Each structure stands twice: as structure tokens, then as C-alpha cells.
A and B are shown apart, each in its own frame.
Chain A
Amino acid sequence: MNAAASTLWDTAVAIDGLRFGWRGSDDACLDLPHFSVAQGERVFLHGPSGSGKSTLLAILAGVLVPQAGTVRIGATDVAALPAGRRDQFRADHIGFLFQQFNLLPYLSVLENVLLPCRFSLRRRMRAEAASGASARDEAQRLLARLGIGPELSVRPTAQLSVGQQQRVAAARALIGRPDMLIADEPTSALDAASQRDFLDLLLAESTFPGALVMVSHDLRLAAPFDRSVAMADLNVARRHIGAP
């Protein structure tokens, strides 16, 4: 226990004995004996579609609950939290980036970025602390760093290009310095040139002492990450399509 406790401080994610199967199916689609991410580490997780990447991310975010195993984010086993606390934990500690359609079309750019601060007091206070003023200023600052000027930030999100939308989504995931950033193929809706730009921005901005886990099927994007992990090496489930 002592050894485990000492490692908790420098482990951002520690998954042990995780098993997950969709309801109505007997076979587990995820069977993951062990996976860990160190504090501050940026991990690139790759695998073909259907290899369970998105499911793993949803489990990390505490949206899906595994049938067995522990999923530690920092010191908390999110799999063991009651549903309400799990949702609050996600709001407080995790920034999430989707492949596309990240934004609520009926909110302005700025309102979209500030959304996590509405669901998490911790994120709002951290955003205020970061800007020294209001969370709004911090949102503006993040947007500016990501190349979205103030003239864009009051626009309806539908008027932005896909690349701009992804950068707004990145600002939203980053606001209030969450302990962990989870990105589910955030660049796949972008063209090759924008992919590099976006990834560079994302990595440059996520310098807080948390972890970044990004999944993609595109191995060309793996270079700037600290570590690259194949889903096939993690997941030992029999139905796993990408198994060698």
C-alpha cells in the first residue's frame, strides 16, 4: 500500500483489471489488464476503428462505468464513484475534446468556452485565478492564444470554420486548467496542414502539470507525443478486431 500511495502522486492515470462490455453483449469489448499515464505525460493512443479507443476515453471521463477494475485519475477511482460524484469529478478535473461538433450551436464562442465554469466551481475559480480577473478574461486569453480573436468570440459558432471550431473546443477543454485532457481524434475533421497547426497549438497550451491522452488512427500525428501506445497492446479482449 505504501508503495502504491507514493506512486499516486506522480501517476495521472492508473487502470487495473478493467473489463467493459456493452449491455446486451456477453463478450467484453475492453479487457485491459494495466495502463498508466504519468503526471505531465502526453500519450498518443492509436488503433483502428472499433478497437475500443472511444470506449476507453468515455471510461476515463467517467461517462461509462466498467464491469470490473479500477480507473484511477490522480488519487480518485472514478469507476467506484457514485454517478453524481462521477459527473462532478469530470466537470472539475477533465477537459474533453470531440472529433467534431464540439460546440453548442446556440451559444456564442465565448459562452461555449465558459461552459465548464458553469458546471464546475473549481474550474471557474482556477480560470479566475489564472487571469487575475474574471473567467471571461481567461476565456478571451485562451482563445487569443489559439488564434481566435475577440471579433470572432461573440459570433455564433455556426459562422466559424471547422478548424476554428476545434480551436474553440480546445479552449473550452483547457479553461480552468483541468488535471487531464482527453481528446478523441480531435484533428480528423481537419485537412493535413490544419492538423499539424492544431496539434502544435494543443500541445503548446496543455503545458499544465496534467496528462494528455489523445486517440487517433493516424500514426503520422504521433511524433510530438511523449509516448505512443497501440490499443492492440493494451486490450486483450478476444473480439478485438485489430489484434495481430
Chain B
Amino acid sequence: MKTILLLAWKSAWSRRFALGLTCLSIMLSVAMLVAVERMRHGAHASFAASVSGTDLVVGPRSHPVQLLLYAVFHLGAVENGMSWDSAERIAADPAVAWTIPVTLGDSHRGFPVVSTSAAYFDHYRYGRHQRLAFAAGTQFHALFDVVLGAEVARRLGYSVGDRLTLSHGLEEIGHAGHADRPFTVTGILAPTGTPADRTLHIGLEAMQALHLDWHGGAQIPGVAIKASDLAKFDLRPTQVTAVLVGLKQRAAVLRVQRLLPARLAEPVSAVMPGAALDQLWRLTSGVEGVLRAVAALVLVVALAGLAAAVLAGLNERRREMAVLRAVGANPSHIFLLMLCEGLGVTLAGSAAGWAAVQLAAWSIAPALLAHFGLARDIAAPGPTEWLLLAAVMAAGLFVSIVPGWRACRLSLANGLAPRT
């Protein structure tokens, strides 16, 4: 066996250019396959990380995926809000440890604005139960204070103390604006890899104050409340988009999910983030499947190329086979020789492909960490990756059997004088 390995290696090395190309094609296809798997796993993990500390999301009755995407990821829209009364009742429930009310609707240069309470900074958890940290400044205290997500500050170049104004609605260039109510940046969050990075955070009262003189999506003409007069108004919110709920005991989540809506005066949806994400992944699994299928197809082409390369080489190697037979090699030696070559090329290609993905992941990890906080999810091999590589090796073995068997047949039929 040592002899066969040595011969296989030396023989392959002498044909390294042709085999190298085959190896390269396997490397690229394996890299593609692994990258798709990595991204898929990374996307799932980063979505899950955004809601890792949240047990329930409660909002107006809607599809669980829709509610979760809007309330946590600020994607899509939910028609109605939920009354503040409901939000307070949820917070008062004995099973509930904390609640984070969130209201969406305004934006600043394309980034969504979330109005929330101080509980957001105390209770929101992401990743492995990490707390939000401030890169600079503190949370909001005054009415028109704003806390920026890391990416908002980086992209727009804001620092603590800067002033900015919000637009009504989520349009990039909102003509309906809140230019009359400038905000002051009091804090900038450290990168988290969650939607918080792309979000501006203001207080619930600020949101209420912004819209005091508004009605139906437009400023009421002729009514302009001076900033100094705002204190005279009741700035308690009337509505919220949703409430993120943390329970005292996580195990009680199913019971709370079932009982909580019944105690409220309006129809609501209570969504377990994990379950809603599972639903979401089921929706996107078709696209993922197509990506995987394309990557797998590329691999099949590469392996077929391997078989073709080894088979094509057989004709020129009949001499080699005859010499080996003459010095005492038996047909199974010849078979093993071919098998080793095919397997070796597959192994080298797979290892190189995996290494390429890993290197790429490591080299972009710092950038991802800074911009998206995704590094941890991309740099670590996903659980299905080893299975994938094992499957590639099995396919390589299968493909190598063909030329091995053919070489075996040829060496048996030709004796020592191959017809050239």
C-alpha cells in the first residue's frame, strides 16, 4: 500500500499540470458549495442573534413573519398599531420580566427610526445574550435626544452632539419632514450585527411630540406647536407598533403566548421569534435550494471532469501499467493506483476549496464584525459543512472507480504488450 501511494503520488506529480487544473475546478466548486452553506448558515444565525434575548413579540394581529420582520428587522410594514393600554397591560403581567415598546414609521436618510423606552438599552439582548454597549455617549434623556446605531453613525459621519432632523415615513427623500424639530445625538451604539446598527433610536415621547400637530400622514395646516409649549401636552404614546417581551421564566413561553392575547381588549398576535424565523426559512428554502443545487451541479461537472481527465490519461499510461504488471503488480494494485489518484485530487481540491472559503472568511471577518457583526457566524464552519465535504469525498471515490475499473480491465486484457 505504501508503494502504491508513493507511485500514485509520483505519477500524479509528473502530470501535475493537467491534474492541477482538475484540482482547481474541484476547488472552485467546493468553495462555491461551502460558501453557499456558510452564507445560509450565517444569515440564519445572524437573524436568530437579533432576537436571541426576546421571548415574545406582541403586536397588532398579523402574520407572525410579517410582525417579526417589521418590529425587529424593520422590513415590510404592519398596517395598524397596538394601543398603549395593551402595552401597559402586557408589562403588568406577572409572568413578564420586561417589555420594550417599539414604534416605527419615521426615518432619517433611509435609516429607520425606532422610538422606544429606556428599557431598550437595559433589556435588549443579542447574540449570546450580549447587552447593547455604547461606543460613545449615553442613552437619550431629553425629549429630542437620539441614539444612533453604529452603521448609521459611520455611514453618515455623525458624532455625539451633532444635530439632525427626521423625515415622516420611510422614503429615502421624504418631502414631508420634521425639519422643525431637530434632534441631538447623545449616544452611538457599538456594532452588534443586528438591525440596531442601522437604526436611530428616540424616546416614545419624542415620537408623540413629533406628531402632535400631524394628522393622517401630513402636518395639519396652520397648526404649529412651539417647542416651548410641548411640555403642556400629554406626551404619553397612544399607540405602539409592537412590544418585545422578556419572560421571568423562559419555559412559560407557550403558556404566556396562549393566555396573554386573551387578557387584552384588542386582537393581537404574540409571536415566538424562533418559530417565526423557522417559518421565514421555510419560505426562503426554495431559493436556498436553488443556490445549493447550482453549486452541486458545478461540483458534478468538476467531478465528471476529473473522471474524464483520469480516463483520458489511461491511454498514455498503458505502458506504465504494463511495466508495473511486469514487475509484479496485480490488477488490484492498478485499480488502487487509479483510485488513489482520483481520491487524492478530490481531497486536495476539497481541502483547498474549504481553505479558500475559510481564508476569505477570516480576512473579511474584521470588516464584517465592524459593519455587520457577522464575523462569528461566517468564520466558524457550519454544522452541515463536514457532512457536505464527506459527501464530496464519497462522490470523488465513486467517480474514481470508473477509471480504476477500466485500467484494471485494460491491464488484464492486454497482457504485457498493449496494442498502441
Q: Could you tell me which A residues sit within 8 Å of B by CB distance?
A: 23, 54-55, 57-58, 61, 63-64, 83-84, 87-88, 90-92, 96, 98, 101-107, 115-116, 118-120, 172, 184
CA distance A83 to B333 in the complex (A): 13
List the 4 closest pairs (A to B, CB-CB), nearest first.
A91-B328, A119-B328, A106-B14, A87-B330
- CB-based nearest B residue for A58: B415
A103 engages B10 (CB within 8 Å): no
Judged by a CB distance under 8 angstroms, whether B387 is at the interface is: no
B415 engages A55 (CB within 8 Å): yes
B413 engages A119 (CB within 8 Å): no
B323 engages A104 (CB within 8 Å): yes
> How many A-B Cβ pairs are below 8 Å?
74
- CB-based nearest A residue for B9: A106
CA distance A90 to B331 in the complex (A): 13
Q: In the complex, which residues 105-131 of chain B have their Cβ closer than 8 Å to any Cβ of chain A?
A: none
Q: How many residues in B have their beta carbons less than 8 Å from beta carbons of A? A: 24
Chain B residues closer than 8 Å to A115, beta-carbon distance: 323-324, 327
**A-contact bits for B12-27, CB 8 A (1 contact / 0 none):** 0110000000000000
Distance (whole angstroms) from the CB of B333 to the closest CB of chain A: 8
Question: Which of B7, B327, B332 is A116 in contact with, Cβ under 8 Å?
Answer: B327
B10 engages A23 (CB within 8 Å): no
**A-contact bits for B328-339, CB 8 A (1 contact / 0 none):** 111111000000
Question: Which of A92, A98, A118, A120 is B326 in contact with, Cβ under 8 Å?
Answer: A98
Chain A residues closer than 8 Å to B3, beta-carbon distance: 118-119
CA distance A90 to B324 in the complex (A): 11
For B327, B329, B331, the residue with the greatest tally of chain A CB atoms inside 10 Å of its CB is B327
Judged by a CB distance under 8 angstroms, whether B172 is at the interface is: no
**A-contact bits for B22-51, CB 8 A (1 contact / 0 none):** 000000000000000000000000000000
Judged by a CB distance under 8 angstroms, whether B325 is at the interface is: yes
CA distance A120 to B323 in the complex (A): 15
B330 engages A54 (CB within 8 Å): no
Chain A residues closer than 8 Å to B319, beta-carbon distance: 101
- CB-based nearest A residue for B10: A106
Judged by a CB distance under 8 angstroms, whether B416 is at the interface is: yes
A23 engages B413 (CB within 8 Å): yes
Question: Which of A61, A105, A119 is B14 in contact with, Cβ under 8 Å?
Answer: A105
Judged by a CB distance under 8 angstroms, whether B82 is at the interface is: no
Distance (whole angstroms) from the CB of B109 to the closest CB of chain A: 65
A83 engages B331 (CB within 8 Å): yes
B417 engages A54 (CB within 8 Å): yes
Judged by a CB distance under 8 angstroms, whether B200 is at the interface is: no
Chain B residues closer than 8 Å to A103, beta-carbon distance: 323
- CB-based nearest B residue for A100: B319
A106 engages B328 (CB within 8 Å): no
Chain A residues closer than 8 Å to B323, beta-carbon distance: 98, 101-104, 115
Question: Which of B7, B324, B330, B415 is A84 in contact with, Cβ under 8 Å?
Answer: B330
CA distance A83 to B325 in the complex (A): 12
Distance (whole angstroms) from the CB of A51 to the closest CB of chain B: 13
CA distance A92 to B369 in the complex (A): 65
A54 engages B14 (CB within 8 Å): no
For B14, B329, B332, B415, the residue with the greatest tally of chain A CB atoms inside 10 Å of its CB is B415
- Could you name 25 residue pairs across A and B whose Cβ atoms are closer than 8 Å? A54-B415, A54-B416, A54-B417, A55-B415, A55-B417, A57-B416, A58-B415, A61-B326, A63-B325, A64-B415, A87-B328, A88-B330, A96-B416, A98-B322, A98-B326, A98-B416, A101-B323, A104-B10, A104-B11, A104-B324, A106-B13, A115-B323, A115-B327, A119-B328, A184-B417
Chain A residues closer than 8 Å to B333, beta-carbon distance: 119
- CB-based nearest B residue for A53: B417
A120 engages B13 (CB within 8 Å): no
Chain A residues closer than 8 Å to B326, beta-carbon distance: 61, 63, 90, 96, 98
**A-contact bits for B44-79, CB 8 A (1 contact / 0 none):** 000000000000000000000000000000000000
CA distance A92 to B324 in the complex (A): 14
A63 engages B415 (CB within 8 Å): yes
A83-B331, A119-B328 known; A107 vs B416 contact (CB < 8 Å): no
A106-B10, A107-B10 known; A58 vs B416 contact (CB < 8 Å): yes
**A-contact bits for B290-319, CB 8 A (1 contact / 0 none):** 000000000000000000000000000001
A90 engages B14 (CB within 8 Å): no
Judged by a CB distance under 8 angstroms, whether B180 is at the interface is: no
B328 engages A104 (CB within 8 Å): no
Judged by a CB distance under 8 angstroms, whether B162 is at the interface is: no
Distance (whole angstroms) from the CB of A118 to the closest CB of chain B: 4
Distance (whole angstroms) from the CB of A102 to the closest CB of chain B: 6
A118-B3, A119-B3 known; A61 vs B416 contact (CB < 8 Å): yes
CA distance A196 to B216 in the complex (A): 111
Judged by a CB distance under 8 angstroms, whether B320 is at the interface is: yes
Given contacts A63-B415, A106-B10, 7 further A-B contacts (CB under 8 A): A54-B416, A87-B330, A87-B331, A104-B10, A107-B10, A116-B327, A119-B328
CA distance A23 to B412 in the complex (A): 12
Chain B residues closer than 8 Å to A92, beta-carbon distance: 328
A90 engages B320 (CB within 8 Å): no
